Structure 1
Amino acid sequence: MSANPWDAEWDVSHALVRRLLDHQFPELSAETVELLGHGWDNIVYRVGSDYVFRFPRRRAAIPLLQTEARILPRLSSCITVPYSKPIYFGTESVAYPSPFLGYTHVPGVLPNGLSNTQRARSAPILAQFLKSLHAFTLDKAEAEGVPHDQRNLADVSGRKDRMLGFLPKLSPHLGRETAGALERYIDTIRLDRASTRKALIHGDLHYKNMLVDDVGVISGIIDWGDVNVGHPACDLSVAYSFLPPSSRPAFFETYGAVDDETHVLARMLAVFMPMLILLQSIDDRDERNKLEATRTIMRALA
C-alpha cells in the first residue's frame, strides 16, 4: 500500500505510453511523446503538438477519469474559458490496467510567480467561468454519473484537524512567521460543518490545474478528475488562493454574492489545498512547487 496519497501504484513510462498509443491509436504513431508532469492521480504526456494524454497512476483514479470522460463533452455550451476536451478514449489492456484519455491541448503555462497586478486581471474571467459552471443543470450532471461531494467538503471540523496535523511537518519549511500566522488562522475557524450546497464544481481548482497566457491572464482550466456535485465554496477558494485581496470584491461582484459560511469554507479550502501540495513538494524535493504553495498559503491568509 502506498505510504502517501500521491504515491503511484503503477509506473507509466515513456516506453509504455508509446506502446499503448501505437496499439490503440495508430494514427498517432508518428507523433512525439513528451512527459509533462504528474499529480496525485495521473501522469500527463504531450503527444505531438495538438494532444495531451492523462494516464491514471492509481486505481482510485479510474472512476474519476470515467466520470470526466462522460461529463466534459456536455459542458462546451457553458464553459467560458478553454478547457481540455477528451477526444481519445483509451481502454485497459494486459499492458496497462486502466482506461486513459487523450485531450485537445490547451495552450498556456502554470501561473507560477505572477504579480498581483497580473492576477487581478483574471478576476472577472474566473468569476464568470465559475458562475456559468455552477449554473449547469444538476439533473444533466447526475445523468452522467457525476458523484456527490466525494471529498466530504462539508466536514469542516475534520479538515481543521488534518490541517493542524500537517503543521509539524510544514512549519520548518514555512518559516516561523508564516507558520505562526497559519496556526493562528486555523485556531480562528469556528465552523464545524458546512450546510449542504449543490452545484456542479470543478472540485480541484488550484494553481496546478490552471493555465495562463504570456501576459499572465487565465487561458485554460485543466484536470477535471474531481468534478462533482458539491459546495461551490470548493471552487470559490480561487478568490483567496489565486487572487490578491484587492481584487476579491470585483470577483464576487461578477460571480454574485455568497453567504458568510461560503466565504469561511472557501478561504479554508484555499489554505488546505496548497498545504497538501506543499507536503507532496517536500517529499518530492520540488523547490519550485514548495515556493508557489507557500506563496499561495500566504496569499489566502492575507
Structure 2
Amino acid sequence: MKPSIDTDLVRRLVATRFPQWADLPLKQVVPGGSDHAIFRLGTGLQVRLPRGDWSAGQAEKDGRWLPRIADRLPLPVPEPVAVGEPEFGYPWQWSVTRWLAGEAARHDRLADPEVTAVEVAGFLAALRGLPPAEELLPGPHGDLAPQELNARDAATRSAIEAVDGVFDRAALTAVWDAALAAPEWSHAPVWFHGDFHAGNLLSVNGKLSAVIDFGGLGLGDPACDLVIAYTLLGAEIRPVFREALGVDDATWARGKGWALSTGLNAFTSYAHVNPHVAKTTSRQITQALL
C-alpha cells in the first residue's frame, strides 16, 4: 500500500529531523516523478520522498555515489544535502537535495537539437569514463548492479502482443529480435545512468540544465542509456549523437532494444490512465521503429 504523502507530512518530517529548515516555505512540485514525490523547500532545496518499495533505496544510494561523481560530470546532478529517516507512518528514508532549476526536457522545445545531441553524448562519455567504483569508494558495491537486456525478453514479448493493432507487431518483433541477437558488451563494465530518458533531463529555455534520478546508476553494458536517442532526439539528429559518443553497431542495436522495451513497458502500464505518458511513449516506440 502506498503511503499518503502531503505537505503536512513533509513539513513534520523536515521539522523533526532538520529543524534548521522548519520555517522555510514548502510547496509540492506537481506532478513530480513516478518514483518520488518532490517538494520545493525554500529557494535552494527540495525534498524527495520515494513513492513505493521500488524506489525506497535511492536516498541511500544517492548519498553514497552522487557526491563522489558530481564534480566529474559536465551537467549538475541532485547531490544530497541530508537523508531523513522513516517517521510519522512514512516507511522509507527520504532526502533533501539542492534545487535544480528547469523543466523536463522535450524534443520539440530544444533550442538547438544538434548542440543538445553533442552535449548529451558528452555527458554519457564523462559518465562512462568515471574511475572504477572501488577507486571512488572501497568496499562491496551491490547497489551498482548491471542491467541485462535479455532479462526483459518475456515481458517485452508480452507487451508486443498487448499492443498488436496499435503498433506493427511484426516490426516490433524484428527490432526486439535484432537487439537480443546483437553481440553482448565485451569490454570492461562502465558506469551508466540506468534511466536516461528525456524526463530525467532538465532544461531551461531549451538548453540542458541538469540530469536527475540516478536510482538506476550501475556498472556494466551502457546500451541502456541510449534510450535518450529515442526520447529526446529526432531521427535526423541521432547520427550526430551516435558519432559524438562513438557507438558501435552492436551497442546501437541493443540500445534500440532498450528504447523499445522501456517504451512498451510504460505504454502498457500507464497509457490508459495518463494521456501524457501515452503520447510520449507512443513517440518513443515509433522512433525506435524508424
TM-score range, shorter chain: 0.7 to 0.9
Distance apart, 1:146 and its partner CA: 4.2
CA contact (8 A) 1:154 1:193 kept: no
Q: Residue 181 of structure 2 aligns with which residue?
A: 191
The residue type equivalent to 2:270 in the other structure is: S
Unaligned runs of at least 5 residues, structure 2? none
Q: Residue 270 of structure 1 aligns with which residue?
A: 259
1:281-292 equivalences in 2 (<5 Å): 281-283=270-272, 285-292=273-280
What is the Cα-based RMSD across aligned positions, in Å?
Answer: 2.7
Q: Deviations over 1:76-118 (max 9, x none)?
A: 2211012211112212235422211111111111124516874
Other structure's SS at 1:69 match = helix
Q: Residue 78 of structure 1 aligns with which residue?
A: 72
Residue number among 132, 138, 146 corresponding to 1:143 in the alignment = 138
Q: Deviations over 1:215-252 (max 9, x none)?
A: x2222111111111121111133234322232223223
CA 1:252–1:90 in structure 2 vs 1: closer, same or farther (change >3 Å)? same
CA contact (8 A) 1:233 1:262 kept: yes
1:207 and 2:201 aligned: no
Q: Which moved more, 1:92-101 or 1:17-26?
A: 92-101
The residue type equivalent to 2:50 in the other structure is: P
CA contact (8 A) 2:26 2:39 kept: no
Residue number among 14, 20, 32 corresponding to 1:27 in the alignment = 20
Whole-angstrom distance in 2 between the partners of 1:190 and 1:12: 40
Distance apart, 1:72 and its partner CA: 0.3
The residue type equivalent to 1:17 in the other structure is: V
Q: Residue 223 of structure 2 aligns with which residue?
A: 233
Q: Residue 221 of structure 1 aligns with which residue?
A: 211
Other structure's SS at 1:127 match = helix
Whole-angstrom distance in 1 between the partners of 2:219 and 2:29: 31
1:12-23 equivalences in 2 (<5 Å): 12-23=5-16
Q: Deviations over 1:54-95 (max 9, x none)?
A: 112223433333111110011122110122111122122354
Q: Residue 3 of structure 1 aligns with which residue?
A: none
Q: Deviations over 1:141-191 (max 9, x none)?
A: 5637543663x53342x423321211344346xx355x5643443344451
CA 1:246–1:142 in structure 2 vs 1: closer, same or farther (change >3 Å)? farther
The residue type equivalent to 1:70 in the other structure is: R
Q: Which moved more, 1:180-189 or 1:79-88?
A: 180-189
| Matched residues, number | 287
1:34-183 equivalences in 2 (<5 Å): 34-112=28-106, 114=108, 118-138=112-132, 139-141=134-136, 143=138, 146-147=141-142, 150=145, 153-156=147-150, 158-171=151-164, 175-176=166-167, 181-183=171-173
The residue type equivalent to 2:284 in the other structure is: T
TM-score normalised by the chain length of structure 2: 0.86
CA contact (8 A) 2:117 2:240 kept: yes
CA contact (8 A) 1:67 1:146 kept: no
Q: Residue 248 of structure 2 aligns with which residue?
A: 259
1:297 and 2:285 aligned: yes
Q: Deviations over 1:199-220 (max 9, x none)?
A: 1111111122111221x22221
Whole-angstrom distance in 2 between the partners of 1:10 and 1:176: 36
Task: Quote the sequence identity (%).
Answer: 23
CA contact (8 A) 1:155 1:194 kept: no
CA contact (8 A) 1:34 1:45 kept: yes
Other structure's SS at 2:43 match = coil
Whole-angstrom distance in 2 between the partners of 1:149 and 1:69: 13
The residue type equivalent to 1:286 in the other structure is: N
The residue type equivalent to 1:299 in the other structure is: Q
The residue type equivalent to 1:13 in the other structure is: D
